[in-house]
Amino acid sequence: MIAELRDLKACEVSRSAAQQELERLLADPRFRVTERQKDILRYLARCRFEGGEEGVKAYAIALDVLGRSSDFDASTDPIVRIEISRLRSSLDAYYEAFGAPENATVYIPKGMYIALFPATFVPHRPDEEVSGNPDAASVDQPAACAFHTSADRQSSGSRPLWAGAAVVTLVTLAAGALASVTWLAYAPSLIEKPVVYVLMEAVDGRMEGEASQIRDTLMTALTQFTTLTVAKSGYPVAGADKRAGRSYELHLKYYGNGEDRSVWWQVADSKTDLVLKSGLDTVDSSGRSMVSVREEIAGRLASSFASIHGVINTIEIQEDADDALGNTCVLRAEHALDDGGQARLAKARVCLEQSLALAPKNPDATAVLSRVMLAGKSAAQDPGVRLTALELAKDAVSLAPLSDRAQIALMAAQFAAGSMDAAIQAGNRAVELNPNNSDAAAKLAFVLYLGGYRDAGVAMAHGAGLATETIPSDAMLVLALDAYREGRYSEASLFAEQINGTDLLVAMLRTAALGQLSSPEVVERLSELKDKTSDPNGGFRNGMSWWRLQQSITTELEGGLIKAAARAEEGTNVSIGQR
């Protein structure tokens, strides 16, 4: 163990004082942690009191505290790292706000799972284990305890918790401070959500009232998306000069031409005044109330600006560095979920875990990490991964109960856990929270369809497609599956080919539809499918079980794959079961 950790231990209070501080802290309602995190802290303290000097492993915490099974793998299930990170954050927040009234504190060094009890508050540096497993990491902690003379120790009636009294030298402190500065200089950026200012004017002064109502409705619609922060025009955002994020101005002009109502818009960078994108949306108002017209215009604009694939978030993804954390990481992870590629998903998971290490209470990163875990290969075979995903989704909802993003994660996790009613409830809640988010409606449609509520799923998929210029992938998949089930193979193939992604289920559907049509293109599609899995038949069955497709759909798709294999054998002697 390195010298800095020895120095930190030398600053500890007596065992009795440590136990008293632990009990006081856990009983203080101002210490905001979950019961699960309290249990982890008690466990770490007990292990230390019983003589544990090197800390415990994530595996032990998972089994002894979190109730995981013996096949727990910390490399695929980050629940221990996430909970410990949140616990550290809560300890820092508590002692920064309320101090250490008993001249004793609780500290969990980064890189280890061990409880220490310094006499003074030692804040954690912002360098959580972002690049590795704490079980395998070496400790590189600066000694940060205040210097205590022997007289100070005697007058406090305590001695170090464990033997050893290393003096914290100024050289050591300087080295620790230098390490902090060096890390901060090269740390990835933790990007915050973009700030958006909305400015609208009526070209015709007589329509200023309508324009004002459109602006207010648009502001409401934008705030329902969790991808950006809406600010009042003319007022600075608190701490704007220190924010690690961009700001944009939405300039809109409202026109009325006969029965048409139009909004011309442009998105500009607030700092550079550069125009980044512009467009025009028009709605026919003939025979309609102004309320419905207003809601349609506002809904279209909000989706165009704030959806995952909208103008602003597309700019955010393109402009930020590859190693950017925070909001950029969340957006890229959601794009990876749409794409379905395992390499992108694996990269997204690492990025999200790093973001949560730096900001443990970020509901967006928590929610999207839950979905990324469910999309990984291990989720189909490991119920522990699905349980962790469910816990993360519940945490996200607890942190942001009005977030459609959190409710979408909860819907997916409940569905994966087999709780269909709870999944539908969460999906309905997501749609209620943000009726302009066509992606939420499409994902609910997918869950409904696979859960056996086919008519409801298809109807919702159609509705999601009408609400946006580009039909969301999940809605397109529902329509493709339904067309295939009803024997409309050309239509199913057309829908499947339009889905922009590399998901295994999509690849299977494309191949099966072409197999039913005896298309010569099936050879190429079958080859692509075999590239995704060394066992298309086995991978198909596992995938269908995981997504809980009904047996009739499973049989129909399997029949198409068999025909695809037969067609391929005729021209290439390639068998679907061949490896």
Q: Are residues 12 and 72 in the same domain?
A: yes
Domain boundary among 186, 202, 220: 186
Q: Is residue 287 part of a domain?
A: yes
Decide: 450 and 509 in contact? Cβ < 8 Å. Answer: no
Residue 269 parent element (H or E): strand 260-269
Q: Are residues 12 and 132 in the same domain?
A: yes
Confidence (pLDDT) at 10: 76
Q: Are residues 366 and 392 in the same domain?
A: yes
Q: Is residue 476 part of a domain?
A: no
- Coil, strand or helix at 202: strand
Task: Give pLDDT tens digits for 352-401.
Answer: 998 998 888 899 999 999 999 998 777 777 788 889 999 999 999 999 99
Q: Is residue 524 part of a domain?
A: no
Q: Are residues 165 and 55 in the same domain?
A: yes
Mean pLDDT confidence for 522-548: 60
Confidence (pLDDT) at 545: 47
CATH number at residue 360: 1.25.40.10
Residue 280 parent element (H or E): strand 275-284
Task: Give pLDDT tens digits for 237-294.
Answer: 555 555 678 899 999 999 988 788 899 999 999 888 899 999 999 988 888 888 998 8
Domain boundary among 186, 217, 236: 186
Mean pLDDT confidence for 481-500: 91
Q: Are residues 44 and 155 in the same domain?
A: yes
Confidence (pLDDT) at 312: 94
Task: Give pLDDT tens digits for 87-133.
Answer: 988 898 888 878 888 889 999 988 889 999 998 887 876 544 443 44
Q: Which residues contact 181 (CB under 8 A, 6 or more apart)?
A: none
DSSP string, 444-510: HHHHHHHTT-HHHHHHHHHHHHHTSSS--HHHHHHHHHHHHHTT-HHHHHHHHHH--S--HHHHHHH
Task: Give pLDDT tens digits for 465-479.
Answer: 776 777 898 999 999
Q: Is residue 216 part of a domain?
A: yes
Q: Which domain holds residue 55?
A: 3-186
Task: Give pLDDT tens digits for 392-451.
Answer: 999 999 999 999 999 999 999 999 888 999 999 999 999 999 999 999 999 999 999 988
Domain boundary among 256, 281, 306: 306
Max Cα–Cα distance, the chain, nearest Å: 91
Model pTM score: 0.74
CATH number at residue 245: 3.40.50.10070
Q: Are residues 21 and 169 in the same domain?
A: yes
Task: Give pLDDT tens digits for 64-95.
Answer: 998 888 888 888 788 898 889 889 888 988 88
What percent of the chain lies above the pLDDT cut of 70?
A: 79
Task: Give pLDDT tens digits for 159-214.
Answer: 445 543 333 333 333 444 343 343 344 456 688 999 999 999 998 888 899 899 99
DSSP string, 284-306: E-TTS-HHHHHHHHHHHHHHHHH
Q: How many domains does the chain have?
A: 3
The answer to whether residue 543 scores a pLDDT higher than 60 is no
Decide: 221 and 301 in contact? Cβ < 8 Å. Answer: yes
